[in-house]
Chains A and B, each alone.
Chain A
Amino acid sequence: MKPLNFIALVLFICGVTWVVTLSERSVRRIQQTYYATITPFLKGGSSIESHARTFLEEIEHSKDLENQLRAIEEEYIKLRSIEGRLRELETENAELRRALDFKEKSRLNVIAARVIKRQPATWWETAIIDKGQRDSIGAGVPVIAPGGLAGKVDIASEDTCSMILLTDERCQVSVQVAGTPEVGILHGTRGRYGEEPRLILRHLSREAAILPGMKVITTGKGGLFPSNLLIGTVKEYTPGPVEGVALVQPSVNFDELGVVFIIAQKNEPEG
């Protein structure tokens, strides 16, 4: 080996040792800086992509859109009348609650964000959203989407966040099978690609009375996720010698994750 190559190899090994022994805090700071640096490219790319898609859709479906608009207008009128009735019921309900001295449930305070990139990562199920520390979002904050829980924030930079999706093996949630006392820990799966995502629910009783189609919701235990957020429905339950395991179909359509809602809650800022 040439002396210069040997020196390069030694320097490389030193560099690797330095990187591998970095503290988790330093690594998160590096990742924050990385995301802050690529944010302009991501936002620019995402905006070009959405403009192009809208433009193409407009060209291709202008007739369809016209028909859809007419149908939506009719639907809108119908819904307005239903909404009026619902408002009355809501007022009545509120009055009854007050009369019964119910404690009002604290409503979730959410911040809407747009998914600007589903990560092209090979093994990790993550996405980047267009809100960050500037909107008081920190690591570990739950993210919901139409349908239910979608994941949690992993790295929060100034203007963007990287979120771990519920379908990732590293995203664990304490859940309950609705209508039963069965609680367990749910997480994503590994090794399944190009098919519908499934979630694994572990730590159930050996012979739990769980049937396909039952709803799975968050328990709120553990302090990470609020309670009663829909996760999905049981697809299959397998009793085991020690514990039962269920396969759950997520209620969120992760293929069409466009807008998500971050549940605003106090978290210590990182860094």
Chain B
Amino acid sequence: MGWYHLSLLFLVITACIFQQFTPTFQSLCDAGILLVPLVFLCSAVTVGAGPMLLLAFTAGFLWDAQHVITPLPAALLGNPEVYDNPGGDVKFGYSIVLYGLMGFFMQGLQPLFREGKWHVSALLAGIAVFLYLSAEYLCITFVRGDLILTHSLFLKISFTALLTMLLCPMVFWVLYRLAGLFHHTISYEGLARERNTAY
């Protein structure tokens, strides 16, 4: 675990704070930019499995702390004769698993990224966000019941994935800068090729 990995942890926490100020676009079916998943997915491809899992744990934990609606204490659920079905929701911590899976998904094409083909990883990050959101919605549907699939739902997921993906180059640029700053090599083969050409 080096300074680069610590800087990624810091970056995820910073993304969590900036996530508070990202807007949603009503004209695009309430789509928004998911900064935390974006930073995690881009970071995941630049590190090994161990640090990726640590990042997944941190990002998922923070994500759920922000979003998951935990059931109220029994005393605040109201009279059970009136509110006979308070309904459930996804468990705190489910995002950690989803982040972990998305991290492994991103690492599948790590060799290409290490060759310097970051645009393939950027495209993959968009697909990963799409899959992540779909999985999240299906988890909620599974717990609450009633499978509701609408056109606007599909558009919301697609636009969110697209908007998030558009910011990938910027995150990769930051990651390359951090890697340079902390002497961490994230594209071995690309560097090797560059060195060979130079000689």
Which residue numbers of A lie inside 8 Å of B, CB to CB? 2, 4-5, 7-9, 11-12, 15-16, 19-20, 22, 24-25, 27-28, 30-31, 34, 38, 41-42, 45, 49, 117-124, 126, 139-140, 154-155, 164, 168-170, 172, 174, 185, 190-195, 221-224, 255, 267-268, 270
**B48–A19 touching, CB < 8 Å:** no
Contacts of A164 on B, CB cut-off 8 Å?
Answer: 69
In the assembled complex, the Cα of A9 lies from the Cα of B50 at a distance in Å of 7
* Bitwise interface map of B from 46 to 68 toward A, beta carbon under 8 Å scored 1, else 0: 00111001101100011001111
A82 to chain B, nearest CB (A): 37
In the assembled complex, the Cα of A271 lies from the Cα of B53 at a distance in Å of 31
A202 to chain B, nearest CB (A): 10
Q: List 23 A-B contacts (CB under 8 A).
A: A5-B50, A12-B56, A16-B57, A27-B68, A27-B92, A42-B20, A121-B66, A123-B67, A124-B67, A139-B76, A140-B76, A154-B69, A168-B69, A190-B148, A192-B152, A193-B153, A194-B155, A194-B156, A221-B79, A222-B82, A222-B83, A267-B76, A270-B73
A208 to chain B, nearest CB (A): 18
Determine if B149 is an interface residue (Cβ-Cβ < 8 Å): yes
**B155–A15 touching, CB < 8 Å:** no
The residue that B89 contacts in the complex, of A25, A49, A170, A224, with Cβ under 8 A, is A170
Determine if B102 is an interface residue (Cβ-Cβ < 8 Å): no
Interface of A, secondary structure class, is mixed
Given known A-B contacts A122-B160, A126-B69, A223 and B53 have beta carbons under 8 A apart: no
Nearest B residue (CB) for A41: B17
Contacts of A268 on B, CB cut-off 8 Å?
Answer: 75
The residue that A8 contacts in the complex, of B19, B50, B96, with Cβ under 8 A, is B50
**A172–B83 touching, CB < 8 Å:** yes
In the assembled complex, the Cα of A210 lies from the Cα of B67 at a distance in Å of 36
Size of interface on B: residues with Cβ below 8 Å to A: 65
* Segment 96-131 of B: residues with Cβ below 8 Å from A: 96-97, 100
Determine if B166 is an interface residue (Cβ-Cβ < 8 Å): no
**B82–A221 touching, CB < 8 Å:** yes
Contacts of A8 on B, CB cut-off 8 Å?
Answer: 49-50, 53-54
B2 to chain A, nearest CB (A): 14
A120 to chain B, nearest CB (A): 5
Given contacts A16-B97, A19-B92, 10 further A-B contacts (CB under 8 A): A9-B53, A24-B71, A31-B70, A38-B17, A126-B69, A174-B78, A190-B146, A193-B155, A194-B30, A255-B26
